[in-house]
């Protein structure tokens, strides 16, 4: 908790268990939950502590466990949005943390589904996508192989949740990564996501995301060719800058 690296190193050298858990109140009823040391360190953004614990044998997929609660160490890095927390997330993924690790956190159900029905489990990807809306963390999960099509217990994908919540940039990031598009039913559209829904309907009418990206690139190349006289390879380089892989 105090980020005392020297004290931890000494304790581990003396035989302390790197996988010991700490009991602490959590949840709406303050029931006791067992927090592995690695999860606590990750939640505070203590990268050096995380490295020491993993080197000593701590499980990078360890779960914080309590009544109706199971929270992977990776999700603990989403407790904050600082560069320190992001560094811990990157390190845990490099050390083998599962980007699709399952989360049981019922109190977040109303943020996961538009109907407010109980959602017994979700995944690291869905949590990063919607609950925290951390686009940098989302991109890191995608780069480390997180599945775009994993669903929570109600059959809801991260892309669908982004549409429900009206989070355009998150939805676009998922589209660029290859998420499957699906227009929502009108009853599921609210003031916060109507514009995003209309955008998605336009993309589908254009023939899909790949077709829309190609159309966009063709138009940009036409603008470049009309405005400046440059060799073709230079124009293509400019086009790549304006319209990166996956679309802009």
Instruction: Look up the CATH number of domain 5-206.
Output: 1.25.40.20
217 C-beta neighbours (distance < 10 Å), count = 17
Q: What's the mean pLDDT in 45-63?
A: 95
In angstroms, the CA 16 to CA 30 distance is 28
User: What local confidence, expressed as pLDDT, does residue 117 receive?
Assistant: 41
For residues 131 and 77, which has the higher predicted lDDT (pLDDT)?
77
Query: Is the pLDDT reported for residue 115 higher than 60?
Result: no
What pLDDT, on the 0 to 100 scale, is given for residue 26? 65
Query: Which of 39-48, 58-67, 69-78, 191-200 has the highest average model confidence (pLDDT)?
Result: 39-48
Name the more confident of 125 and 174. Answer: 174
| pLDDT tens column, 23-43 | 887 656 677 889 899 999 999
Q: Where are the beta strands (DSSP E) in the chain?
A: 21-26, 31-36, 63-66, 69-72, 102-103, 122-123
Tens digit of pLDDT for each residue in 63-88?
Answer: 888 877 788 888 888 877 789 999 99
Band of residue 119 on the pLDDT scale cut at 50, 70, 90: very low
Domain ranges of the chain: 5-206, 207-248
């Amino acid at each position: 908790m105090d980020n005392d690296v020297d004290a931890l190193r000494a304790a581990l050298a003396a035989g302390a268990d790197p996988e010991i858990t700490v009991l602490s109140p959590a949840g709406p009823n303050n029931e006791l939950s067992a927090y592995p040391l690695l999860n606590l360190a990750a939640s505070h953004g203590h990268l050096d502590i995380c490295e020491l614990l993993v080197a000593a044998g701590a499980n990078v997929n360890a779960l914080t466990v309590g009544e109706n609660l199971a929270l992977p160490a990776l999700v603990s890095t989403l407790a904050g949005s600082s560069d320190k927390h992001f560094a811990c997330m990157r390190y845990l993924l490099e050390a083998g943390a599962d980007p699709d690790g399952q989360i049981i956190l019922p109190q977040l159900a109303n943020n996961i589904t538009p109907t407010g029905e109980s959602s017994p489990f979700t995944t690291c990807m869905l949590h990063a996508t919607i609950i925290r809306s951390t686009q940098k963390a989302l991109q890191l999960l995608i780069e480390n192989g997180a599945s775009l099509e994993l669903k929570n217990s109600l059959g809801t994908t991260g892309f669908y949740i982004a549409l429900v919540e009206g989070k355009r940039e998150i939805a676009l990031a998922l589209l660029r990564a290859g998420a499957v598009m699906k227009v929502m039913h009108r009853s599921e559209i609210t003031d916060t996501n109507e514009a995003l829904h209309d955008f998605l309907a336009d993309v589908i009418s254009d023939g899909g995301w790949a077709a829309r990206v190609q159309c966009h690139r063709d138009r940009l190349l036409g603008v470049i060719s009309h405005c400046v006289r440059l060799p073709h390879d230079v124009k293509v380089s400019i086009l790549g800058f304006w319209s990166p892989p996956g679309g802009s």
